[in-house]
Amino acid sequence: RYSNTRAYSQSKLANIFHAKELAMRFKVLGAATTCYAALHPSLKDVTGQYFVDSNKSNCSAYGRDPELAHKLWTFSQDFIDKHSPS
């Protein structure tokens, strides 16, 4: 049976496994930018920004396209709705 809580827990576990595997494969891979963006007080009210080497940056044109973001969101929601047990 499908359980929202179990699915959420499994997705978080998958994130942990992914991060651990990345760390093993790419020893020089760091989390400085992620930690900076998540914890620095000056970024308290900053959302939806892209950072590189702990500096705000511009992502690709695709990454700035709100229509593509909306299409992905809609596709994902439709997929979940279609494949989740009621």
Q: Where are the domains of the chain?
A: 1-46
Give the per-residue pLDDT at 1: 85
Give the per-residue pLDDT at 16: 83
Residue entry with tokens 């998958």: 14
What's the rounded Cα separation, in Å, for the pair 22 and 32? Answer: 15
- Residues 8-25 pLDDT 10s: 999 998 888 887 887 777
Residue 84 has pLDDT above 70, yes or no: yes
Catalytic residue IDs = 2
What is the pTM for the complete model shown? Answer: 0.51
Whether the CB-CB separation of 85 and 1 falls below 8 Å is answered with: yes
What's the rounded Cα separation, in Å, for the pair 74 and 86? Answer: 19
Strands (E), the chain: 50-52, 55-57
